[in-house]
Structure 1
Amino acid sequence: MEWDTLLFFISDHEGFHGTIKTSPKDFEVTEIDTYGQLVTNPNIQGTLTQTVHQGTIKVVKSKQTTPDEIDISNQECFNLNVILNPSVNKELERFTNQIRTKTSQCKGEQQNVELSLGTFADKNLRAVVHRAVRQTFPFLQTVTNQSEIRVREDQDFKELSKLSSEGESEEFFRFIDAKVPGSAFTFLPDDSKEHRTSVHHFVSRRFGKLVETKSFTDQNQTSITVRLRDKGKQPKKRAMDCQEEEVTLYTAFTLQKENLETLEAISYMAVVLGVLPSDFTYVGIKDKKAVTYQSMVVKKISPEQLLEKAAEFERRGMKISHIQPVCEPLKLGRLQGNHFELVIRDLKPHEKHELATLEDLIQEAVENVKNSGFVNYYGPQRFGSGTYVQADQIGLALLKEEMDTSVKLFFTPEDGDSLQNKAKQHFLLTGNAKESLALMPAYKARERLMLRALHRYGSGREGCIRGWLSLPHAMRLFYLHSYCSRVWNEAAAYRLKKLGFKAVKGDLVWSGSERGCKNTTENEPNAPQVHVVTAEEEMDDVFSLEQVILPMPGNSVKYPENLLGKWYEDRLAQDGLGSCRFRVTPLKLNIPGCYRPLLAKPQNITYSFLTAEESQTTSHSDEPCAPSLSIAFDLNASCYATVCLREIMKCHVS
């Protein structure tokens, strides 16, 4: 069933015809992070951002900040004027001046004085704040208490500064905090053996598991060299409570891609970088025929290695920016939403319309959806672009653990004589995975991974399982989520058709102020709670249709307690899933389900009508242009612009 055959609208305006995605540049999508900032211009309170710039990495605060360039090999030297709020930074300078200039009479009083730098919810940002403060002020110790970072005078630094100058002590502590593999620090020449022994003892006592010390004589002068031990022998951090400072080989970046599926882009980058597609994590899948900007994290690759491959990515229609080391991978769905900037071309009214002008039709349509929203269907991207087999059909086969069927569906070719279609057709006809692999193009990473596994383990049930396990976990989940999304779309249409446009008895709503599509897992202590609308609440109109949520099938969701609940039961039974546990154990897949608002609304919507002459200036063609519409808006995570446009235009869009 096509996703748009449901065609259930909630507004009664007439709409209009138009064409979207005439060019990828007519459909731009930019992720909005959990701090409400575009990933192309992140908020410094969410994460420090970096952009590729002539072989260096540039740290950027915001448009009005003068960037401070730092060498890519010394990324910890961030500017505190960039990281901290100006008032906090001023207070920190006052605090450090007080420590530096304190008199002997007040030493005892100030020994335990601390200053709060505020709370930082993001773990990665806390790690950067810790490092940046100590690189700037080596005589300070940073301490984390939950999300709050406090600073105080470092007693280790104080002890060393009695054995060497303050300047030399500062350089030594910067060396310790930087932890650059293979690096060394040499103290100034020292002719006193007793004094050198004291320095040796101090360094060994405080940092002995991290470094080794050795005295050497050059031109009758003796100095102490401190060398970082091998990485495997490094100790725990200087401050035991700063666990987020642990260095991990994860690199975050913003990916700009054009006319590429997200999974296709990942497959290509994995080949270029020599890692697995599963080493990439992201928060959402973006449109193919569009220019999109999204956050990603790659495992086992350093910022330097990623930067080296930037030119190769560009040749494939991808650009990378805002590169930075981070401590952990991204998790699917961890974003606030997406910002869309679209151009709808070739505008014309529907055959029957009453309003005088096309511009009037557009204004009425956009204002209606701005105020009333739209049915929050999953869009066509959720089901793939296949003509004969779509992703939800594969997902159903996997849920039923029909492994052989799922693989055959996976390799069903489309029309055309492309290499991938020839390879798929050859596999279905012969079952010969080795020969099919030789035909399959190199950039078709998913298909090649599957064929390699089938060649190695055979095409029986075990081989099919191995084939699916060769794909990244997120890719396997995609097919199951696609099926569940299909059921949700049908449930939404049935709910509106049978129960109307108000919240009724048995409907589900959030019990608190929750919004958006939220997963439920038995491992999550603060899982969102749902409330069942009572007859009294229906009578008193306590809840609106905008507050109604529908479950996406899974093993941890509650179903409505009205006729829609029975519909879910019958619908799943119809597909042979009456007793489904929504776990595919052989493939290590678990579907807890989630709750999704029945309606969605675009936010921050702006639009302008472009005449035929104005449209010509933005067109990517030399052909004469019809009027067009430029429109921009924000949608919550997992909401689809194509669905919003369908409600505005009252016609098929994809």
Structure 2
Amino acid sequence: MEDTDNKRKREDNSTNLNPENKKLKNEELIVINNETLNSLKKSNNFKNDFPYEKDVGITKFINENNPGFTVSLKQRYNDFLVNEIDEKGNVVHLTNLKYEKKKVESEVDDSLSQEEKDNKAFELLKDYIKDEEKIEKIKKIVKDNGKDNTVVTTEDIPNKEDRTKLHQFFRKHFSNRIETETKINTVQINIHWANGRNTDMRSSQKGDSYWKQLGGEFCQFTMFKTNKETMNAINIIAYTLYTTSRSLGIAGTKDKRGITVQNVTGYHMTPEKIEKANKHLLAQGIQLGNFKFVKKGLKLGDLKGNLFNITLRKLSIDDNNIIENAIKSLKNIGFINYFGMQRFGTTSLPTYEVGKAILKKNWRKAVDLILMEKIGESERVRKARKIWKDSHDPKKALEEMPKNCTAEISILKAFEKMDQINAYSNALLNIPRNLRMMYVHAYQSYIWNLAATYHIEKYGYKPAIGDLVITEEKQKAMDSKKRGKHNKEKPDIITSENIDKYTIYDVVLPMPGHDIIYPENEIKNYYEDLLKKDDIDPKDMKIINKEYFLPGSYRKLIVKPGNVEWNIIGYNDEDADLALTDLDKINGKEAPINIPDGKFKALQISFSLPTSSYATMALREVTKMDTSIKSIKESGEVIDE
């Protein structure tokens, strides 16, 4: 039975991680009078309000002739299913929750007493150690529970495979009692009681041998999560397993709003331990399965993309030709590879504003922006922010701030620990790095979106002289050099001589940074003007602070989805589940039934996208709808929280 204190601690954490949010009404406004907000309003026409797509540079469509249609965008998070595609091109699915350990035929009858088992084992040991005197010494170690700290050293065992077999023999028959390790600089093995002293131990080597026998030092498992940010889910899993999030590896992050499936690796973890966590994780909307050992842990970028299965409810038209033409256009022509609205946060303060302040080394403004009052937040968050605004007392603000406000809590804890509220740079550094970098990446994405729109306005949907291009072959070469830690390879540049070799699908635009090149045409001037307007020099992105190292990267301007499929389904119940999740399939849930003459119609569409491309931007191309939270709420949609 679980320890009561641990159980209570877990339940308290569960409550903190999922605070009940009471939303403010749309018409409620917050009046903020502080130096930071006033300066923002003056310099950037900043409004403390949710942004539209146009506010983050999203304005163009590829196929303007498609009239579009209205649907319910993300009304329910289980209408948005995402499955990771691994580096080998396999779609990741959760198919089982149980770990079936491989059964090994026992050489010792389990019905025997421990003493009888040991005697049988000593007989078998003669196949490995021929010196009977040494076997007798090992018997004495076992019988006396190692009280004399005796160490028995074998004769030379030149063959590594034979040494491995002997290690495995003792682990199997004398687990937790006898330890073995190869003696340093020899081919001999030391054998001693598990707590023996004065031994020539190499525990790390022993550990490597143990995990190698299992198949690798990492246990890979599939994570199924519901309506959770990826890092939030990882933190919950780490807490449940009594470990740190650093011991868990992922290939990519997924949106909160949706049900997503992806691989995770855990360093020096056993499937049995992870499997037991499922009973605690179920209430958090997380389940783990498909366990196996692997030699390498996952790191960001170790994937090919994602497969999306999306249900768009309340389809507004009956003309299937319009839908079919729109989806054919998406499949054959593609969509503008804008960074979606999720990239810029879910509050009335776009995250790129914080990123801009950080890149300008205005640490105070960055902190003030994170802590300031925002519209549309829960009453508890609003109260905590007001306490901070009125008192600047980090302890009092922390008492009210919900645990899922990670950035705010990190800053307030830093202020409390340092006993001062003006160490802004250090306070920012207390925010977990992945979250801290999210702000500056949002600014890069904001600039990229603006540049993408300008490129289309200037050159249309065709490559131009001076554009940067990366073909499929070039991308493979760049990826290979990246994995091999060679010097970073640059894109090719279109000239009048080679322009016929390239298409719009080869064109890339840079994410601003200190180690990228810019197009050799008017797009370069546009980038420079945008950054100059914000008083940011790309060269500073290297020297600003080692914690905000931004070399930059390249992103395709136009993307074509793969594996595009669609169908129309009729339904009567607005809250009916219209698609099966991986967990539904494991639990044997029946597939939804199509009701052709149902009260409502839904468009179900599936497609695959490369990593970092946004499904919402593909849907935008099909429907011609604004995907921002502000626009969705203005249309009367109730977003399932």
Fold match (TM-score > 0.5): yes
Structure 2 match to 1:472: 432
Counterpart among 195, 198, 202 of residue 233 in structure 1:
202
Cα deviation, residue 466, structure 1: 2.5
Structure 2 match to 1:346: 314
Once residues 249 and 184 of structure 2 are traced to their aligned partners in structure 1, the CA distance between those partners, rounded to angstroms, is 40
| Contact 2:470–2:492, Cα closer than 8 Å, also in 1 | yes
1:202-601 equivalences in 2 (<5 Å) = 206-208=187-189, 211-212=190-191, 233-234=202-203, 236=205, 251-298=219-266, 303-326=271-294, 329-349=297-317, 357-387=318-348, 389-414=349-374, 415-461=376-422, 463-510=423-470, 513-515=473-475, 524-525=485-486, 527-538=488-499, 541-578=500-537, 580-583=539-542, 585-586=544-545, 588-601=547-560
Once residues 304 and 238 of structure 1 are traced to their aligned partners in structure 2, the CA distance between those partners, rounded to angstroms, is 18
SS in 1 for 2:382: helix
| Contact 1:517–1:597, Cα closer than 8 Å, also in 2 | no
| Contact 2:219–2:269, Cα closer than 8 Å, also in 1 | yes
SS in 2 for 1:554: coil
Please state if 1:3 is matched with 2:3: no
Cα deviation, residue 648, structure 1: 0.9
Once residues 219 and 208 of structure 2 are traced to their aligned partners in structure 1, the CA distance between those partners, rounded to angstroms, is 24
SS in 2 for 1:386: coil
1:24-103 equivalences in 2 (<5 Å) = 24-40=77-93, 51-53=96-98, 57-58=99-100
Cα deviation, residue 537, structure 1: 2.9
Cα deviation, residue 3, structure 1: 3.3
Cα deviation, residue 69, structure 1: 6.6
Structure whose residues are more often strand by fraction: 1
User: Compared with structure 1, are the counterparts of its residues 417 and 527 closer, same or farther at alpha carbon in structure 2 (3 Å cutoff)?
Assistant: closer
Counterpart among 598, 601, 605 of residue 631 in structure 1:
605
The TM-score, its normalising length taken from structure 2, stands at 0.69
- Output the amino acid matched with 2:383: K
Cα deviation, residue 273, structure 1: 4.1
Q: Quick check: 547-556 or 439-448, which moved more?
A: 439-448
| Contact 1:267–1:443, Cα closer than 8 Å, also in 2 | no
User: Compared with structure 1, are the counterparts of its residues 235 and 474 closer, same or farther at alpha carbon in structure 2 (3 Å cutoff)?
Assistant: closer
After superposition, give the CA deviation of every residue in 1:10-32 in whole Å (9 maximum; x if it has no partner). 11222211112221211101111
Cα deviation, residue 400, structure 1: 1.2
After superposition, give the CA deviation of every residue in 1:31-73 in whole Å (9 maximum; x if it has no partner). 11101112226xxxxxxxx9531xxx237xxxxxxxx5789xx
- Output the amino acid matched with 1:33: D
| Contact 2:518–2:524, Cα closer than 8 Å, also in 1 | yes
After superposition, give the CA deviation of every residue in 1:210-241 in whole Å (9 maximum; x if it has no partner). x3259xxxxxxxxxx9999989633747999x
| Contact 2:360–2:535, Cα closer than 8 Å, also in 1 | yes
Cα deviation, residue 306, structure 1: 3.3
Cα deviation, residue 260, structure 1: 1.7
Once residues 550 and 436 of structure 1 are traced to their aligned partners in structure 2, the CA distance between those partners, rounded to angstroms, is 42
Cα deviation, residue 341, structure 1: 0.6
Percent identity over the alignment is 26
User: Compared with structure 1, are the counterparts of its residues 229 and 18 closer, same or farther at alpha carbon in structure 2 (3 Å cutoff)?
Assistant: farther
1:113-152 equivalences in 2 (<5 Å) = none
Please state if 1:647 is matched with 2:615: no
After superposition, give the CA deviation of every residue in 1:302-350 in whole Å (9 maximum; x if it has no partner). 544433332222111111223445555432222100000111111114x
Query: Which consecutive unaligned segments of at least 5 residues does structure 1 have?
Result: 42-49, 60-67, 72-153, 161-168, 187-199, 215-224, 350-356
Once residues 200 and 81 of structure 2 are traced to their aligned partners in structure 1, the CA distance between those partners, rounded to angstroms, is 44
| Contact 1:484–1:553, Cα closer than 8 Å, also in 2 | yes
SS in 2 for 1:206: coil
How large is the RMSD of aligned CA atoms in angstroms?
A: 4.2
SS in 1 for 2:62: coil
Once residues 400 and 502 of structure 1 are traced to their aligned partners in structure 2, the CA distance between those partners, rounded to angstroms, is 35
Q: Which is bigger in relative contact order (C-alpha 8 A, separation at least 6)?
A: 2
Structure 1 match to 2:568: 609
- Output the amino acid matched with 1:569: E
- Output the amino acid matched with 1:28: L
After superposition, give the CA deviation of every residue in 1:521-553 in whole Å (9 maximum; x if it has no partner). 899315343111002333xx3211111011011
| Contact 2:566–2:604, Cα closer than 8 Å, also in 1 | yes
SS in 2 for 1:347: coil
Cα deviation, residue 595, structure 1: 0.6
The TM-score, its normalising length taken from structure 1, stands at 0.68
Q: Report the number of matched residues.
A: 507
| Contact 2:478–2:489, Cα closer than 8 Å, also in 1 | yes
